[in-house]
Structure 1
Amino acid sequence: METLQVIGEGNTAQVVALSHQKVAKLFFAHVTEAAIEHEYVIHQAISNLGLPTPFVYKREMIHGKRAVIYERISGPTLIRQIENKPWRAFPLIMQLAKLHANVHDTKKLSNLPSLHDVIKKKISSVDAINEEEKTMIGLHLKKLSDGNSLCHGDFHPDNVLLSERGPIIIDWTDATMGNRLADVARTLLILKYGGLPDHTSQIRFRTTLYIRKLLASHYVRSYKKGYDFPVKELENWTLPIAAARLSENLPLREKKQLVSFIQQYLKDGKTH
């Protein structure tokens, strides 16, 4: 049996190289058939919108595993480029913001899940906050407008590849229809806290946090150049988005930062 070159791995699948033109996402046994079909259908629909995304070919079985075949994109992720060339961090973050705004301005897809519904479901499964806090967050969420923009659902520098033909957006599995500022809020929180390492010195941790917050602020300013909005509206979305993110498998330090943010937000009475 031919050995496949593994080029990436996440919680749901391995990504293997099939050729210079194609990769396969091999799903683990715990992933449901419905989830795989959802990913395939979503990526097909997104690739037909004209956005810079990998082409999706087909579903098939590879070495006894369920797979989706995608176009192979060569190039570093945007986050890797920032790490390799930190002096280019601000221009790259500006590029990220412009790309995100283009997603939100594109054609709508009626068959996508509601962002509001997805957030509510995620918050209900969180165990890092108590039921009273969940209720307060739920009431806050009800006050926020639905919106009808295409939202990526997990837009951050690790999901943008810098290819020869320009930036390519990957991983559309969590795409929804909803308020674009909710999507912006998630990107903002990931830029600030996403993947914070558990094992590092306190000084290095605080330095990293400071730099992250600078990049996040630059991202918001850059996004506002293409789509102006009241900053308060974005702030209103950070509470439910932070709570929903706690439903994911996060590093302990990131989880603590999000819980602290949520509890302080509720303590300050910003939901009223």
Structure 2
Amino acid sequence: MIPAAPLASGRTADVYALDGDRVLRRYRSGGDVRAEAEVMRHLYAEGYPVPRVHHADGPDLVLERVTGPTLVEALVGGDVGVRSAARLLVDLHARLHALPTVRATDPAIRILHLDLHPENVVLAPAGPVVIDWANAREGPSALDRAMTALILAEVAVDRSLPLSAAAHELLMAYVAEAGPLESVAAAARLRADLGAPDAARLPDAVRLVLAAGAPGDRAGAGNLALPDP
């Protein structure tokens, strides 16, 4: 029996506790979770830290229950420093992009999370676990790193958000750890296609990422086709 109240709610899905070991992630708009489950099962088999998939059907994913604070909660609570958080994000990307893909044979094509930010990293007792693979697909690894920087920048440019300053600091540390970023313009277009929470922030976010350290992608920034604010 599914509890009446969710354990947690995100932008597109609600998470319900089924028991001490399993949760149900249900997408509010319906859909088919088979592709997401396939990626997660593949990564779990390869030893990447994702929740184990117990069942997938329609809009419902039954997953291993992962306990612990999110990386953003640990940052706000002072349990993890900004530099350590940046290194963790870079390491999680590196580990992911080193794994074999599900289908692609081109070595330049890797598995991408495309939503890897501190709210989607749970600091479980056994180590960090990456959650929310709804946007996962295969592509060039540079796109995944640029997307993380862009998501951080979206928060950083909105001074009305409580975590704006912290996001700016983490973005700077992330870029310093990740090195020069590429594919920022492509990441922004994809972010808009995927339904960024506030597309009006994207141009400012792109400019901030480029200023932080993506000189090789400046030419592409002029070709952004983003929604008008």
Do both share a fold (TM > 0.5)?
A: yes
Alignment match, 2:18: 18
CA distance in 1, matches of 2:72, 2:122: 9
**C-alpha offsets along residues 59-110 of structure 1, whole Å, 9 cap, x if unaligned?**
369xxxx522100000011011111117722212212211221111122221
Identity %: 25
Question: 1:223 matched to which residue of 2?
Answer: 178
After superposition, residues 96-175 of structure 1 pair within 5 angstroms as 96-110=89-103, 147-175=108-136
1:25 touches 1:68 (CA, 8 Å); kept in 2? yes
Q: CA deviation at 1:249?
A: 4.0
2:225 is matched with none
Partner of 2:219: 270
Query: 2: CA distance between counterparts of 1:84 and 1:49?
Result: 32
Q: 1:251 aligns with which of 198, 203, 207?
A: 198
How many aligned positions are there? 215
In the alignment, what sits opposite 1:81? Answer: 74
Length-normalised TM-score, structure 1: 0.67
Counterpart Cα distance in 2 of 1:2 and 1:169 = 24
Quick check: 1:56–1:70 contact (8 Å CA) kept in 2? yes
Q: What TM-score do you get using the length of structure 2 for normalisation?
A: 0.78
- Does the CA-based 8 Å contact 1:104-1:149 persist in structure 2? yes
Greater relative contact order: 1 or 2 (C-alpha under 8 angstroms, separation 6 or more)?
Answer: 1
Higher helix proportion: 1
Matches within 5 A, 1:28-43: 28=28, 30-32=29-31, 35-43=32-40
Structure 2 vs 1, CA of residues 167 and 86 (structure 1 numbering), >3 Å: closer, same or farther?
Answer: closer
Q: Which residue of 1 aligns with 2:226?
A: none
Structure 1 pair 14–177 and aligned structure 2 pair: CA distance change class (3 A): same
Matches within 5 A, 1:185-196: 185-194=146-155
Q: Does 1:213 align with 2:168?
A: yes
Confirm or deny: 8 A CA contact 2:25 2:60 kept in the other structure. yes
- Give the letter for the 2:111 counterpart: L
Q: Structure 2: which 5+ residue stretches go unaligned?
A: 223-229
Name the counterpart of 1:53: 50
SS at match of 1:15: strand
Structure 1 or 2, whichever has the larger Rg, is 1
Mapped to 2, the partners of 1:87 and 1:26 lie a distance apart of 30
* Contact persistence 1:149–1:178 (CA under 8 A): yes
Deviation at 1:197, TM superposition (A): 5.2
Unmatched tracts of structure 1, length 5 or more: 115-145, 225-230
The CA distance in 2 between the partners of 1:78 and 1:13, in whole Å, is 20
Q: Aligned pair in 2 of structure 1 residues 2, 37: CA closer, same or farther (>3 Å)?
A: closer
Structure 1 residue matching 2:54: 3-state secondary structure:
strand
Change (3 A) 1:87 1:76: closer
Please list the CA deviations of residues 177-210 of structure 1 after superposition, one character each: whole Å capped at 9, or x if unmatched.
221111100001112224865846xxx89xx35x
Deviations 1:218-248 (A, max 9, x none): 2133234xxxxxx2xx24x111211221231
**For the residues of structure 2 that align with 1:81 and 1:212, how far apart are their CA atoms?**
13
